[in-house]
Structure 1
Amino acid sequence: METSYCPSCKLALEEEPTGNCIRCNYPFHGTEAEKSKHIGEFISQKGIGLDLEAIVKRCQRYLFIVTAIQLVVSFIGIMNNSVSFIFLLLNGFVVCSFFLCALFLKKNPVVFSIIPMAIVIMIFIVDYLFAPELLLSGIKTKLIILALLGYCVYIATKAEGFNKKFSNNDIDL
């Protein structure tokens, strides 16, 4: 006989379930509405659920911070007359990309978190290829940017996994 599991608490059941789960009181033979309600309450009580909207807002805030950092870098370069037109053009592209990703983050959190991180990593690689001595220049800022973007990718992936595991539908943010 195959081992079956309670859909709510994942308790292994040794025999065909009758009535309710002994751990979480899941109604095995209840209506779909009763089962769904029970799972929702169980998730809420156990703190399993993630507040997806709050997570997306936090990641949006981080993307806006990274956008602001990129703008500050551009302005410092302009003030010092140490940047070329190509640098300003590329930095403008990066700033616009980050800003748009932050705006559209609710549509697809994973994709719009990965895009800015990929752009930043490509910038670091190109910087290293053309000016290896600049690799450690501004390392704290680079690490902060990577950490913020990495956190956004991680949390968006975690939230998406939670959404797929505990929901039949995508949660509309």
Structure 2
Amino acid sequence: MSIKHVLSVEECQLLLDVAKKSDPFLKMGYVLCKNMLRTGLRNSEVVQLTYSQVDLEQNIIHIKKDNKISGAIIPIDCELAEELKQYLSHPAYLCWISSGKEQVFFINNKPFNGNSLTIFIKKLAFNAGIKKITTPRNLRYTFTYTLKTNHFSPLEMKELLRLDSMESVSRYLFIPNHYLRLLK
């Protein structure tokens, strides 16, 4: 990863503004993008996220354990919790849930999958006038860069990003491989 994969503050605001305007009724895209920018959720975590994993009383998201991602608890700030609360109590979302669906985010009456989420984010970024190709991964990189610029330690970053090793963290710290070899 390099700094070119990170969205600027202005680009983040443009993305959120376009997402909000594209669906002023439900605001699903806005809540989805804000969630990814504030939690660093992986693409797979977003598409698999279910209503039961969101705990708004404790302001946390429970990430399920699977063969790649260990179970984790992700803190969410009060502002994001309030946005999620409004979204999850919206009549359109309640209708979605009452039809037997579990996923938090959906499009065209279907849950997102990795491909549809990527297309959705790319389209929002294009409509926002963001010149760089923007994918869900860019939102995770942006979250990581925010942690770095706010002086989170590599160990704290490892925990918040749910990474297996410190070497994985180094990819997010913009440390070239030849420096990593020297550090070992």
TM superposition score normalised by structure 2: 0.27
Larger radius of gyration: 1
Which structure dedicates a bigger proportion of its chain to helix? 1
Which structure dedicates a bigger proportion of its chain to strand? 2
